[in-house]
């Protein structure tokens, strides 16, 4: 027993202070590397800030990136206001939609608002099971297209989903 105690000296464990200092040093290096990579990959905020450009006669309205907006009444497209509605079943699920209508000829804002209300009323009769998956979404799109065609008597050529979120 005495031999084991004298010959088998126990190794000293590293000090708690040294361990904390190493972890703190590695954290600072990792944070600095993340900051450096973030600045290299992401442009500064001042360059990406939205800039509104005035649109005069004959000029197209520009978006933040400088690309011409397609959804304008001059192009025959009316973007309807986004709405949130509950589904028929389960009633605690909500759907948020933003839809645009492509008119044949000059857009009619009164007709667009009537279609907007019709879509909202229809979404309150739909259950979650009916619109699940890609096939369900296609059926929903077809149903809405049919309702829009009936309401507009052929004056609306297409219905475009801009956002569609189920919560």
Distance CA 34, CA 162 (A): 35
Structure confidence at residue 146 (pLDDT): 94
**Contact yes or no for 72/51 (Cβ under 8 A):** no
Give the model's confidence band at 7: pLDDT under 50 very low, under 70 low, under 90 confident, else very high.
low
Percent of the chain past pLDDT 90, that is, above it, reads: 53
**Contact yes or no for 66/76 (Cβ under 8 A):** no
pLDDT digit string (tens) for 90-138?
A: 889 999 999 999 998 888 889 999 999 999 999 999 999 999 999 999 9
Q: How many residues does the chain have?
A: 167
Tell me, yes or no, if the pTM score tops 0.75.
no
DSSP 11-61: PPPPPHHHHHHHHHHHHHHHHHHHHHHHHHHSPPHHHHS-------TTPPP
């Amino acid at each position: 027993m005495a031999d084991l105690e004298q010959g088998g000296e126990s190794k000293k464990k590293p000090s708690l202070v040294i361990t904390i200092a190493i972890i703190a040093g590695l954290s600072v290096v990792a944070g600095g590397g993340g900051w450096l990579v973030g600045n290299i990959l992401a442009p500064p905020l001042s360059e990406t800030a939205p800039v509104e450009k005035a649109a005069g006669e004959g000029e197209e309205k520009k978006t933040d990136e400088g690309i011409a907006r397609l959804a304008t009444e001059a192009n025959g497209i009316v973007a309807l206001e986004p709405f949130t509605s509950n589904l028929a079943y389960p009633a605690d699920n909500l759907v948020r939609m933003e839809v645009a209508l492509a008119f044949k000829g000059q857009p009619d804002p009164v007709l667009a608002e009537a279609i907007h209300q019709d879509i909202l009323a229809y979404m309150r009769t739909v259950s979650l099971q009916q619109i699940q998956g890609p096939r369900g979404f296609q059926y929903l799109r077809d149903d809405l297209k049919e309702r829009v065609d009936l309401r507009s008597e052929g004056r609306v050529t297409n219905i475009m989903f801009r956002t569609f979120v189920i919560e």
